[in-house]
Amino acid sequence: AALLPRPARGLTDRLYCGRRVCYEVLGVSRQASKAEIARAYRQLARQYHPDRYREEPAGGEGGGAQAAHEKFLLIAAAYETLKDEETRKDYDYMLDHPEEYYRHYYHYYSRRLAPKVDVTIVILVTVCAISVFQFFSWWSSYNEAINYLASVPKYRIQATEIARQQGLLNKTKEKGKNRRSKEEIREEEEEIIKDIIKNKIDIKGGYQKPKIYDILLFQILLAPFYWCKYIVWYCWWIYCFTIKGQEYGVEEKLYIIRRYMKMSQSQFDSLEDHQKETFLERQLWIRENYEVYKREQEEELKKKMAMDPRWKRYRRWMKNEGPGRLTFIDD
């Protein structure tokens, strides 16, 4: 009697085997092993499988093919519930504690609706895909910048002169059997000029040469290192310039100026050297000096806009026509 499944109250139609006890459906006890559960399932599945089920003679208690199909689905639901250790544990808890209604619903549907693929794998694949797209997008922008610089006469002439001095263009012209067409020679010369531009010109900003550790994947992997580095640097800054009162060096002055201008490191690096020298000469790391410089820049911008013919036409159009005025002018 102890081995027989206990009668359970509180069973619902939408959980596990519904109003039936899964152990009773398979004809096993609650202490049955996984092998016994699997063996009972195989026997019942062979008996009630839709492809193997045969109608019983008239007067039998089988109930027909429809009843056999429903019986097979119930057997499959019971096996799915009892074959997994965690699901079986939740089901046994429900049999022993039928009063905890909402807890049983939560455990049941949390397992049913759980993603089939590990979330970690999904995140990793997404980050890798974004990183690959990032890298090739940056390479495309960099090559686009090189192609543009190669078309500018100023840089193209200088690159061609350097190539001639190094004897790179003379190698492209060959005679005899190794002689190539003009198109091939032109393509090789173009590649030589682009390589010289890549080596001689330091492109900064959004079109700079991509680096592998700038992509998202490496940024995430190196995030702990960057955080530790920033904490050490910040403590060093507080100790040197706040506690000891040391004077700022050139790098520290430029850092404060960049913070005042609210520019990123790449944006600040893209500025010309003479601009940075002007910042240092005017001592813009001092807040008062920077405020004066900022007002001067704003006034200069207003003067340029006032003298710009295009801006004058725009203001005249806004005054005479305006964005909300309806006219019959075709232009």
Domain ranges of the chain: 22-113, 120-171+181-210, 247-319
> Is a pLDDT exceeding 80 seen at residue 9?
no
> Is a pLDDT exceeding 60 seen at residue 21?
yes
CATH class of 22-113: mainly alpha
> Is a pLDDT exceeding 80 seen at residue 301?
yes
Give the pLDDT mean for 217-231.
91
pLDDT tens figures, 239-293: 998 898 889 999 999 999 999 988 888 778 878 888 889 999 999 999 999 999 9
Cα dihedral 35, 38, 42, 44 sign: positive
- Out of 96-100, 106-110, 247-251, pick the least confident: 106-110
Most confident segment among 71-80, 143-152, 282-291: 282-291
- pLDDT band at residue 313, thresholds of 50, 70 and 90? confident
Query: pLDDT at position 58, please?
Result: 46
pLDDT tens figures, 201-213: 777 666 778 888 8
> Is a pLDDT exceeding 90 seen at residue 113?
no
Give the pLDDT mean for 39-62.
69
Q: Report yes or no on whether pTM surpasses 0.85.
A: no
